[in-house]
Structure 1
Amino acid sequence: MPFTLPDLPYPADALEPHMSAKTFSFHHDKHHAAYVNTLNKLLEGKPLEGQPLETVIQESSKDPSMTPVFNNAAQVWNHTFFWNCMKPNGGGKPTGAIAEKIDADLGGYDAFVEQFKTAATTQFGSGWAWLVLENGKLKVVKTGNADLPMVHGQVALLTCDVWEHAYYLDYQNRRPDFVQAFLDHLVNWDFVNQNLASA
Structure 2
Amino acid sequence: MFELPPLPYAEDALEPHISARTLSFHHGKHHKAYVDKTNELIEGTALEKLSLIDLIREVAKDKGKQVLFNNAAQIWNHDFYWHSMSPKGGGAPKDPLAQQIERDFGSVEKFKEAFKAKAIGQFGSGYCWLVLGANGKLAVTTTANAETPIVDTNQAPLLTTDVWEHSYYLDYQNKRPAYLDAFLDHLVNWEFAAANFEAARAEAA
TM-score above 0.5, yes or no: yes
Is 1:44 the counterpart of 2:43? The answer is: yes
Aligned residue type for 2:116:
K
Spell out structure 1 runs of 4+ moving beyond 6 A: none
User: Residues 125-157 of structure 1, C-alpha deviation per residue, up to 9 Å, x if partnerless?
Assistant: 000000001111100000100001111231100
Aligned residue type for 1:161:
D
Residue 170 of structure 2: aligned partner: 169
Cα distance between partner residues in 1 of 2:83 and 2:49: 24
User: Residues 91-130 of structure 1, C-alpha deviation per residue, up to 9 Å, x if partnerless?
Assistant: 1211122111101112111110111001110100000000
Residue 203 of structure 2: aligned partner: none
User: Residues 143-189 of structure 1, C-alpha deviation per residue, up to 9 Å, x if partnerless?
Assistant: 10000111123110010000000000000000000001000000110
SS state at 1:75 partner = helix
Is 1:75 the counterpart of 2:77? The answer is: no
> What is the TM-score with the length of structure 1 in the denominator?
0.98
Cα distance between partner residues in 2 of 1:13 and 1:156: 26
Unaligned stretches of 5+ in structure 1? Answer: none
For residues 4-43 of structure 1, the aligned pairs below 5 Å read 4-43=3-42
Cα distance between partner residues in 1 of 2:185 and 2:141: 19
- TM-aligned CA deviation for residue 87 of structure 1: 0.5
Unaligned stretches of 5+ in structure 2? Answer: 201-205
SS state at 2:48 partner = coil
**How many pairs are equivalent?**
198
Cα distance between partner residues in 2 of 1:38 and 1:26: 17
- TM-aligned CA deviation for residue 47 of structure 1: 2.0
> What is the TM-score with the length of structure 2 in the denominator?
0.95
Out of 45-54 and 24-33, give the one that drifted further.
Answer: 45-54
For residues 115-126 of structure 1, the aligned pairs below 5 Å read 115-126=114-125
Identical pairs, percent? 56
SS state at 1:49 partner = helix
SS state at 2:47 partner = coil
- TM-aligned CA deviation for residue 190 of structure 1: 0.4
For residues 71-150 of structure 1, the aligned pairs below 5 Å read 71-135=70-134, 136-150=136-150
Cα distance between partner residues in 2 of 1:18 and 1:50: 39
Cα distance between partner residues in 1 of 2:18 and 2:95: 26
Cα distance between partner residues in 2 of 1:47 and 1:62: 17
User: Residues 51-76 of structure 1, C-alpha deviation per residue, up to 9 Å, x if partnerless?
Assistant: 10000010110211111111001100
- TM-aligned CA deviation for residue 45 of structure 1: 1.4
Is 1:179 the counterpart of 2:173? The answer is: no
Aligned residue type for 2:185:
D
Cα distance between partner residues in 2 of 1:149 and 1:28: 21
Aligned residue type for 1:55:
D
SS state at 1:72 partner = helix
